[in-house]
Structure 1
């Protein structure tokens, strides 16, 4: 079998997206005490939400919620089947985001999961995932799923697998580079080279 190379146009980025799922409720695991805590945001304002989304996601080129129309984003944020949590540090500063989407019957998507870069690699991700799974597996939920991509922290895929998720599919996604469209500052995500200008 021969390999194939697919050209990526100047001004675009390519990423490999991996979809993962759990079909069995995991046994509760003891969690180390954490100085962090979760705070439920009920229907947060768009600006407040996007500010935290940026703080957590800009280093990994998260931008889908930044370019989404305000009314479309507001529909998600106010949907009772979508639960949004801010992660707070001991001073009450928002340092992470957890978003659970129950809009598909019997399923929970961990739509967004992340901490600011200063907190990664310190074991807080395991604590946050423990919180996420405890909140996700309830009621009639039979499937919890999440996706990650090669633009994310390179440890993300291994982390999800270590937490008990199983990879179920892979896709290649081509996107306009948000640093070249002005959505995200050009100095973000230096691990992803800037190539060309948008056509």
Structure 2
């Protein structure tokens, strides 16, 4: 059901957060330079368990209020991770995982870069640009006509410019609303300090 939001300010339900999400797409593959980072490797995670996935998801996304996958039970999350049309990778630097790349091929001929990010200590090291090049190499396979992703106003302030430099073009904007994950224990209270915490007393 479509939620009608009128022009101007709209009150949020108690305990909720809202961000503006921008959707971007690439409809023509661009040339990708070969890797010049021998310290970086992309490890396919074909048998990762729900707990290990959640741990990396939190390391990468807590600062940006990523919480959707944290709300899934083991069965639902395992069904996604085990789907042969979902490709999960953990980029590694000198053998240690430093991020997450998840590509969703379930709605071909479109491919979604479902999750893309680095742990805080790897941001600014050039690993993000390297990871995006690898993501595009993996996404543009035979039969693919479009690669897309989205970012939002809770994400890293450089995310939008980064994706546009990579060749993605904005095509839609939506309001995203969800229960604030810091108020119900999904994420710690000190997560995403750039997003003010407003709402009921945590349970």
In the superposition, the TM-score normalised over structure 2's length comes to 0.92
Distance in structure 2 (CA, Å) of the matches to 1:105 and 1:183: 32
Partner of 1:71: 75
Counterpart of 1:4 in 2: which secondary structure? coil
| Structure 1 residue 72: Cα displacement | 1.3
Structure 1 residue runs of 4+, over 3 Å off?
A: none
Contact conserved, 1:34 with 1:127, CA < 8 A, in 2?
Answer: no
Distance in structure 2 (CA, Å) of the matches to 1:189 and 1:101: 26
| Structure 1 residue 28: Cα displacement | 2.6
In the superposition, the TM-score normalised over structure 1's length comes to 0.94
Distance in structure 2 (CA, Å) of the matches to 1:28 and 1:78: 29
Give the aligned CA root-mean-square deviation in angstroms. 1.7
2:122 maps to 1:151: no
Q: Where does the alignment leave 5 or more consecutive residues of structure 1 unmatched?
A: none
Contact conserved, 2:118 with 2:128, CA < 8 A, in 1?
Answer: yes
Partner of 1:14: 18
User: How many residues matched?
Assistant: 197
2:122 maps to 1:101: no
Partner of 1:140: 143
Partner of 2:62: 58
2:36 maps to 1:36: no
Distance in structure 2 (CA, Å) of the matches to 1:43 and 1:110: 20
Contact conserved, 1:10 with 1:198, CA < 8 A, in 2?
Answer: no
Contact conserved, 1:178 with 1:184, CA < 8 A, in 2?
Answer: yes
Partner of 2:31: 27
